[in-house]
Amino acid sequence: MPETNEPIKLRTIKDNLIDFGEVLPEVNEILQRGVSLYRHDPAGADLAFREALALRPEALPTYLCLYKIHTYQGNLDEALAIAQAGLAEAARQAGLDPDWTLWKPGQISSDVNGPGHFGLYTLKALAFIHLRRDENAMSQRCLDKIAELGAMETVGGSVIAALAAGVA
In the prediction, which pLDDT does 167 show?
65
Q: At what angle do helices 76-94 and 115-132 cross, to 10 degrees?
A: 160
- Dump pLDDT digits (tens) for 10-51: 554 456 788 998 899 999 999 999 999 999 999 999 999 999
Q: Which residue has the higher pLDDT, 7 or 23?
A: 23
- Dump pLDDT digits (tens) for 107-124: 999 898 899 999 999 999
**Mean pLDDT (the chain, rounded):** 90
In the prediction, which pLDDT does 17 show?
85
Whether the Cβ atoms of residue 112 and residue 6 lie closer than 8 Å to each other: yes
Return the closest-CA partner of residue 126 out of 93, 166, 75, 87.
87
Quickly count: other Cβ atoms within 10 Å of residue 40's Cβ: 8
Amino acid at 74: G
Domains annotated for the chain, with CATH where assigned, are 11-167 (1.25.40.10)
Answer whether residue 168 shows pLDDT above 90: no
In the prediction, which pLDDT does 20 show?
92
In the prediction, which pLDDT does 6 show?
39
Q: What pTM value is reported for the model? A: 0.88
Percentage of the residues of the chain whose pLDDT score is greater than 90: 82
